[in-house]
Amino acid sequence: MPRPTLAPGPGELSVAPLYAGLCGTDIQMLRGLRDDPAPVIGHEGIARVTAAGKGVPEKFAPGALVVVNPTHPADPGFLLGHTTDGLLQERTLLPATAVSGGLVLALPESTDVTVAALLEPLAVVRYALSELSAFDPATLLVVGDGVIGHLTVRAARRLLGRDVRVALVHHTERGRAFSEASPHPADLLLDGLSGVTPDGPVAALLATPRDATVAALESVLAAGADVVDIVGGLPPGASTPSLPGIDLTAVRAANCAGLPAPAQITTAGRVRLFGHRGVANRHLLDAAAELAGDAGHYRDLITHETDLDGAARVMRTLAGSRERVVEDRRLIKLSVRIAEDDR
C-alpha cells in the first residue's frame, strides 16, 4: 500500500533502495514467529541517498551510494527492518541515530548493486569465520542449507585455509539437491551428523532458524565439536542439558555488531561457545570488497529475483508454508529489484 515519503529532519537521511534481499528472519516475521514491530521489513541491500537533513556529513549528499549496517552496537531502538522501517520500499528514512552512529557506509560507484542481497549475509559469514579461524579447525561443520550455510561453504577456505574440510548438513531433499548441483559444493554433503567422524579440531557454525538451533547445537556437540558459533537465532532463555547452566541466548547476545573484538567466548568443559547478532562496519566493507573482486563465486546463490510487486507475491507464498519453495524451486536468496540504477 502507498506510504508517504517523509523529508529527513536534522541528522536524518532519506534513501532509495536499489536492490534488497529477503532474510530468514524476515521469513520468520512473515510466518508470525517473531513479533518485531517494524511495518516494513528488509535489512539487506544497497541504496542511493535522495535527501539529507541538516548536519549530515557531505559525503552523504544526494546520489551517494550506500549500504546500511542494520545493527546498532549501542542503540537497541535501531534494528533496520525489525524495529525501524526497512528497505523493501521505494524510500527509507534513516534516523539520526543510524547516521551519527556511523552505520551508513559509502560504497564505490563501481559496486555491482545486483548482488546487494548477498552483501550483509556474506559479512555475517566473514565475521563468523574470522572468529573461528582463531581455533585453527581442521573440520568445519555447517548446519543449515540456507544462504548463510552456502556462503559459509564458499568462503571457508578463503578464511580458514585451503586444508579445512567442510561438511554441510541439510534438512530438506530440495536443499540437498541444490547442493549436489552447486559449482562450489562442500567436501561432505550430509543429511545428519550421526556417525560422522571429523578429523582434527572441529568447529561448527549453526545457521538455523531459532526453533531448530538448540537441536543443531546438541547434534554438533555429539559429533565432537570443539568450538561452536551460534549464528542462528534462539528462543528466549534457551538452554540444553548438554551444557548445563549455560544460557544460550545470553551467549549469543554477548556479541553485538562486532563488539567486543575479539568475540566473547564461553567455556563449558572442553567446548568453547559463542554467538553474535549483526556485524561491524569492517565486515560489511570487507564483504563488499570480496563481492567486487569475485561476485561470480557467489552470484548463483541468488536463486530468485523480482520487483516489489513480485516480492509481495513471494512473501505471501512463504508466509503460508513451512517450505522455502517458490516457483517449484528451492529459494536460497530472493533479490528484490526496487529501482534501476541509471548511473
Instruction: Give pLDDT, residue 32.
Output: 86
Tell me if 19 is assigned to some domain: yes
| Pair 132, 267 in one domain | yes
On the question of pLDDT at 198 being above 90, the answer is no
**CA 319/CA 337 separation, integer angstroms:** 20
Q: What is the pTM assigned to this prediction?
A: 0.97
Please say whether the beta carbons of 169 and 225 come within 8 A.
no
Q: Are residues 217 and 332 in the same domain?
A: no
* DSSP class of 135: G
Mean pLDDT calculated for residue range 168-196: 93
94 and 125 in a single domain? The answer is no
106/204 Cα distance (integer angstroms): 33
37 within some domain: yes
Show the CA angle centred on residue 318, arms to residues 314 and 321, nearest 5°: 145
What is the spatial distance between Cα 20 and Cα 122, in angstroms, rounded to a whole number? 14
DSSP 8-state code for residue 77 = T
Pair 37, 100 in one domain: yes
- In this structure, what CATH number is given to the domain that contains residue 37? 3.90.180.10
Tell whether 182 and 103 lie within a shared domain. Answer: no
Report the distance separating Cα 47 and Cα 338, nearest Å: 10
What is the C-alpha to C-alpha distance for residues 24 and 30, in angstroms, rounded to an integer?
Answer: 10
Range of the domain at 321: 13-107+300-337
Tell me 218's DSSP state: H
**Residues 142, 169 contacting (CB under 8 angstroms):** yes
Nine cell digits for residue 293? 573482486
- Kindly state whether residues 95 and 126 are assigned to the same domain: no
* pLDDT at residue 171, as a whole number: 87
75-113 pLDDT, tens digit per residue, is 999 999 999 999 999 999 999 999 999 999 999 999 999
Q: 179: domain CATH number?
A: 3.40.50.720
Please check whether residue 294 lies inside any domain of the structure: no
Report percent pLDDT > 90 for the chain: 89
Residues 80 and 215 occupy one common structural domain:
no
Residue 228, in any domain of the structure: yes
Q: What pLDDT digit, counting tens, does each position of 62-76 carry?
A: 999 999 999 999 999
Looking at residue 215, its amino acid is A
Mean pLDDT, range 4-12, rounded to an integer? 93
Pairwise CA distance, residues 43 & 71, whole Å? 9
Tell me whether residue 115 is in a domain.
no
Cis check for the bond before 262: say yes or no (omega within 30 of 0): yes
- Higher pLDDT residue, 42 or 210? 42
Q: Evaluate whether residue 2 is within a structural domain.
A: no
**Closest-CA residue to 34 (of 82, 72, 101):** 82
Kindly state whether residues 324 and 221 are assigned to the same domain: no
Residue 223, pLDDT > 80, answer: yes
* pLDDT for 256 beyond 90: yes
Say if residue 206's pLDDT is above 90: yes
Q: What does the pLDDT read at residue 102?
A: 98
Q: How confident is the model at residue 159 (pLDDT cuts 50, 70, 90)?
A: very high
Classify residue 8: in a domain, yes or no. Answer: no
Chain mean pLDDT for the chain: 95
Domain assignment of residue 342, yes or no: no
Indicate whether 145 and 243 sit together in one domain. Answer: yes
Give the chain's domain count.
2
- 87 and 151 fall within a common domain: no
Interval 276-307: pLDDT, tens? 999 999 999 999 999 999 999 999 999 999 99
Q: Indicate if 135 and 182 belong to the same structural domain.
A: yes
Predicted pLDDT of residue 10: 98
The reply to whether 61 and 200 lie within a common domain is: no
